[in-house]
Amino acid sequence: MSFKNERQTPPRDLAFLAKSQLLSADDVERALRRMAHEIVERNHALEDMTVIGMQTGGVGFATRMSELLSDITSTTTSLGLLDVSFYRDDLNVNPTPRTSMTAIDDDLTDRTVILVDDVLFTGRTIRAALNALSDWGRPRSVQLAVMVDRGHRELPIRPDYVGKNLPTALDETIRATLDGVWMGTKGVS
Amino acid sequence: MSSLLVRGGLVVGPSTSSVGDVLVRDGVIVDVSDTIALPPGCSEIDARGCWVGPGMVDLHAHLREPGREAAETIESGAHAGAIGGFTALVAMPNTEPALDNVALVSYVLDRGTRTPIDVAVAGAITVGRKGESLAPMAEMAALGVRLFTDDGIGVQDPSVMRRALTYARPLGVRLAQHCEDELLAAGGSMNEGALSSRLGLVGRPALAEELMVMRDIELVRLTGAPLHFLHLSTIRSLNLVDAARREGLPVTCEVAPHHLTLDETSCQGFDALFKVHPPLRAASDVEGLRVALRSGLVDAVASDHAPHAPELKDLAFDEAPAGLLGLEYSASLTFEALGGDVDPVQFFSLLSRGPARIAQLRRDDLRVRHSAHGGALVAGDDANLVVFDPNARWTASNATLHSRATNSPYDGRALVGQVRSTIAKGTLVVHEAELV
Amino acid sequence: MIASLRGENLLTLEGVSDAALLEVLDTAESFVEVNRRSIKKVPALKGKVVASIFFEESTRTRLSFETAAKRLSADVLSLAVASSSVKKGESLRDTTATIDALGIDALVMRHQSSGAALQVSRYVPHVRVINAGDGLHQHPTQGLLDAFTIRQVLSERADTTGVESGLELFKGLRVLIVGDVRHSRVARSDIVAYSTLGCEVRVAAPGTLLPANIETWPVTVVSDFDEALEWADVVGLLRLQRERGSGSFVPSLEEFTQTFGLTFARAKRLRPTTIIMHPGPMNRGVEIDSKVADLASAVITRQVTNGVPVRMAVLYLALASVRDGGGS
């Protein structure tokens, strides 16, 4: 399965103004390769593996990750997309996000799930994702890969594979895509 | 009885007005002149800047008693009327049971005497207002009933209406018709048009009213009996009546304040407070009615005061009863409809002298001695007076209404012109817009 | 114009912008996916209470709404007024106050009177009111699911997805609505939705079944029904509302069928791609021939299926966000 890679280069839009670039596209690619190898090392049965990209920021990374895994192991890695809007616990206080597609074809029971996201922050999105995944069965294990871990966790969640640890201030924002990683400020119009 | 001097207002006669004083004693006007010295022991009302005219007469008040006292009683209706500047009301017969016999008419007349103003009665044309057999009009006429109507609904059957006109003519009374063909208006709850069709509300077409106006004009031609057209709501209806009058037919007509100040778009929010029969019409009709009002095509403005208990107006639009409150805002809304530079003579013609001629309240009525209304404001007249401030700016508020049901659709509307004082039968009943 | 239905009542489709309609359609697309899962339930509205009150019974619409609410994990309070002590004539305010006293977040309401949902929304401003059909006025979720179904069918044919196609497939789409427009709240919602989305809408009906002043509607009345069938990309049939007295607006059902029914013979004039729709329940043999209803181009069952994700989207948007962006 393949998906269109949305939002390749959006370092400047209504919600984000890039201040500085932290990783280049090459850095990102190198980090992904390293993470792919770590995944292969740790998991042996790749035919039982499903890579799931978190909508929308994780989709590009997940797509590339599944390609890399397929290359390394010469098998096809299953790819899925997950939108956790309907699983969030903050719908009372935050405006509803624009929903996007979820596409998980497999019954995840007894499979190894690699959840892929762009940035790990409070951990609440991953909490929602774990809830969501249970609707597709009971995976043997769920592992988390993120391009950037910026700290400030509010839940006992830690990533298994990290592209880059970037300690940040709360008022800073991170934008991570296959084209690079930027730090910036919010709400510029 | 006490005496009262109304000082310094514009005294509005039948054709001219001049600033002066009016002295009232023992229920009659004893003097009208430029300046009158305050007699000893006499109270004084400062009417400077106000219009002093004959007490207003409402041809069309649904006082709901007997039967629906939760909405209004004769007493509360009379109080609301006094606040509105009315010194006489004609109580409509669509009570429960209907005012279609001597006993019920007497009951309402007697109750009316316990209020500060005159309450006359319009009797039903047919038994139970069913439109079938004639009510005992001669007996009721003998009590002093001068108007008969089945209002709430028109007499649908043309042969019954013809019979009623023929029967009424020698009695010296006048029939009054609620003009709506109920077959054509069946199931309707607002004006038929683009808006009703969009809102999915069944419409009451203007034609339902106009057809009955046409029919009844021809019945008047056939029978020679006088007929009053109640609450006409379309410009075409007014033109039909005007043409008939020019031909010399004995027809008169009234319009209601809400048809002059609200149009069908008020129904857009499905608020049943705006449901009334005939319905609020298109904006073009509202404008047409205003023009007609100014150009003298209309004999009277009549409130069609039709209160309903709030729980009934909380029903769905098509299930709710039709009718809205009118007495307290009639004068201000008429003032608004006359627009801009209002002629006080015309103002009192529409609200007092015109309707008084149709209501025919007399001092010699058999059952109840009513006073005379709509006079020329000269010495010797019964002292029914109103002091109206044409410059007052105020806001309609349901919190201050005097009716039992306090659910006027005008709540919050900015109004211009206000009744300051009402003097009924020589007694000051409303002063500074409050009941005395 | 309403730019988005987030946090809003859904009382009518009038005044709802194309962007807001698109948002509902796209959100519904996500719920189609949810409805394909083996576990067809998401926790989006966990802890919310949705009351459904049907003054006029409709098992289909009620089931569709309640299924939608349950798949969003909302608690559902169900009041069948038609069979309870609440009858025509009870003050809407009283009935609403009673339900509101139970503590609800949304009220799905059907009523036999036009405007009833709007009236009720004034009594309970803190509750999101979803109109499930009011008199002859509106049936907004039907309009939405009809538009959704059209987009779904057309995007499948174009080998794309509904979300990707956006509003493109509606532009210039030729929709013919046939039958009892006068007494149809479905027609009122459909016509508003289709015209807002850019379709060209025509209607075919005996004059007596057209509403007053239809010339003010964004539609053209066709004079030749058979010709219009050849013209149409979509034919939307309406139920002849016999229970609303439509019977007396045509001389006989047979004559209606002969002149404006989609008979099998007439259906042959349609292009094979023309989509045939009906909001149900059908009067088979009256406005639609039984065989026509079973044609492949008839998407009537799909309309029913789509009712759930579309109503999920409506409930989700209405409830899952705070009005005015307030809150935190």
CA distances, B135 to each of A171, B101, B148, B226 (Å): 85, 7, 10, 18
CA distances, A157 to each of A128, A130, A134, B130, B284 (Å): 12, 11, 17, 80, 69
User: Which tokens is B10 given?
Assistant: 């514009």
- DSSP letters along A106-152, please? S--TT-EEEEEEEEESSSHHHHHHHHHHGGG---SEEEEEEEEE---
User: Which tokens is B124 given?
Assistant: 């039903």
Residue pLDDT, tens place only, C141-180: 999 999 999 999 999 999 999 989 999 999 999 999 999 9
Residue pLDDT, tens place only, A69-79: 999 988 888 99
Q: What is the per-residue pLDDT for C157?
A: 95
| Overall residue count recorded for chain A in this entry | 189
Residues B61, B305 contacting (CB under 8 angstroms): yes
Residues C52, C79 contacting (CB under 8 angstroms): yes
Average pLDDT (A100-119) is 90
Query: Is 50 exceeded by the pLDDT of residue C38?
Result: yes
User: Which tokens is A111 given?
Assistant: 């499979």
Of the listed C6, C48, C62, C110, which one is catalytic?
C110
Phi, psi (degrees; rounded to nearest 5) at B433: 60, 20
Q: What is the 3-state secondary structure (H, E, C) of C62-93?
A: HHHHHHHHHHCCCEEEEEEHHHCCCCCCCCHH
User: Which tokens is C200 given?
Assistant: 């060209």
Q: What is the per-residue pLDDT for A8?
A: 40
Domain-wise residue ranges, chain C: 18-137+306-318, 140-304
Partners of A52 in the β-ladder: A80, A115
What's the gap between Cα C261 and its chain centre? 21
Query: Is 70 exceeded by the pLDDT of residue B63?
Result: yes
Of A86, A93, A94, the CB nearest to C42: A86
Closest CA to C123 of C53, C219, C217, C34: C53
Locate all alpha helices (DSSP H) within B115-180, ordered by sequence. 137-142, 158-168
Task: Report the SS3 class of residue B138.
Answer: helix
Residue pLDDT, tens place only, B355-372: 999 998 877 776 788 999
Residue pLDDT, tens place only, C86-112: 565 667 888 888 889 999 999 999 999
Provide CB contacts within 8 A for A113, sequence distance 6+.
Answer: A49, A50, A52, A133, A139, A141, A142, A143
Q: Where are the beta strands (DSSP E) in chain C?
A: 49-54, 75-80, 106-111, 128-134, 174-178, 200-204, 220-221, 234-237, 275-277
Residues B179, B232 contacting (CB under 8 angstroms): yes
Max Cα–Cα distance, chain B, nearest Å? 67
Average pLDDT (B112-139) is 97
Provide CB contacts within 8 A for C68, sequence distance 6+.
Answer: C307, C308, C309, C311, C312, C314, C315
Domain-wise residue ranges, chain A: 24-188
Correct CATH for C140-304 of 3.40.50.1370, 2.40.30.10, 3.40.50.150, 3.40.462.10: 3.40.50.1370
- How far apart, in whole angstroms, are the C-alpha atoms of residue B220 and residue A147? 93
> Could B316 and C92 be called an inter-chain contact, meaning their C-beta atoms sit closer than 8 Å?
yes
Q: What is the per-residue pLDDT for C82?
A: 63
Q: Which residue does chain C place closest to B313, by CA atoms?
A: C91
* Chain C hits for B317, Cβ within 8 Å: 113-116, 119
User: Which tokens is C268 given?
Assistant: 């042959």
pLDDT class of A189 with cuts at 50, 70, 90: very low
> Is there a shared CATH topology between the C18-137+306-318 domain and the C140-304 domain?
yes
Q: What is the per-residue pLDDT for C54?
A: 92
Average pLDDT (A101-110) is 87
Angle at B58 between CA B314 and CA B431, to 5 degrees: 90
Residues B132, B102 contacting (CB under 8 angstroms): no
**Chain B: touching chains (3 or more CB pairs < 8 Å):** C
Residue pLDDT, tens place only, B23-40: 999 999 999 999 999 999
Q: What is the per-residue pLDDT for C88?
A: 57
Q: What is the per-residue pLDDT for C297?
A: 94
Q: Please tell me the least confidently modeled range out of A78-92, C200-214, C280-294.
A: A78-92
Partners of C131 in the β-ladder: C109
Residue pLDDT, tens place only, B306-342: 999 999 999 999 999 999 999 999 999 999 999 989 9
Q: Strand B86-91 and strand B118-123: pairing?
A: parallel
Please check whether the domain covering C18-137+306-318 is classified as CATH 3.20.20.190: no
Burial C37-74 (b: 16+ CB within 10 A, else e): eeeeebbbbeebbbbbbbbbebeebbebbbbbbbbbeb
Query: Is 90 exceeded by the pLDDT of residue A106?
Result: no
- Say which CATH topology domain A24-188 has: Rossmann fold (3.40.50)
* Chain A hits for C41, Cβ within 8 Å: 135
Domains of chain B and any CATH numbers: 4-52+378-395+409-435 (2.30.40.10), 55-359 (3.20.20.140)
Q: What is the per-residue pLDDT for B361?
A: 84
Q: Residue B144: left (phi > 0), alpha (psi -120 to 50), or beta?
A: left
Query: Is 90 exceeded by the pLDDT of residue C85?
Result: no
Of A92, A95, A102, the CB nearest to C6: A95
B-C CB pairs within 8 A amount to 80
**Chain A: touching chains (3 or more CB pairs < 8 Å):** C
Rounded to a whole number of angstroms, the distance from the CA of C116 to the nearest CA of chain A is 28
Provide CB contacts within 8 A for B384, sequence distance 6+.
Answer: B54, B55, B87, B88, B118, B371, B372, B373, B375, B423, B424, B425
pLDDT class of A100 with cuts at 50, 70, 90: confident
Provide CB contacts within 8 A for C81, sequence distance 6+.
Answer: C53, C54, C55, C87, C95
* Residue C87, Cβ density class (10 Å: 0-12 exposed, 13-18 middle, ≥19 buried): exposed
Q: What is the per-residue pLDDT for A15?
A: 65
The predicted model scores a pTM of 0.90
Q: What is the per-residue pLDDT for C57?
A: 83
pLDDT class of C242 with cuts at 50, 70, 90: confident
> Could B315 and C14 be called an inter-chain contact, meaning their C-beta atoms sit closer than 8 Å?
no
Percentage of chain B exceeding pLDDT 90: 97
Mark whether C266 is an active-site residue. no
* Chain C hits for B269, Cβ within 8 Å: 115, 118, 122
Average pLDDT (C22-33) is 93
Q: What is the per-residue pLDDT for B407?
A: 96
Q: Strand A173-177 and strand B147-148: pairing?
A: unpaired
> Could C42 and A101 be called an inter-chain contact, meaning their C-beta atoms sit closer than 8 Å?
no
pLDDT class of A97 with cuts at 50, 70, 90: low
Q: What is the mean pLDDT of chain A?
A: 86
Q: What is the per-residue pLDDT for A98?
A: 67
pLDDT class of B1 with cuts at 50, 70, 90: low
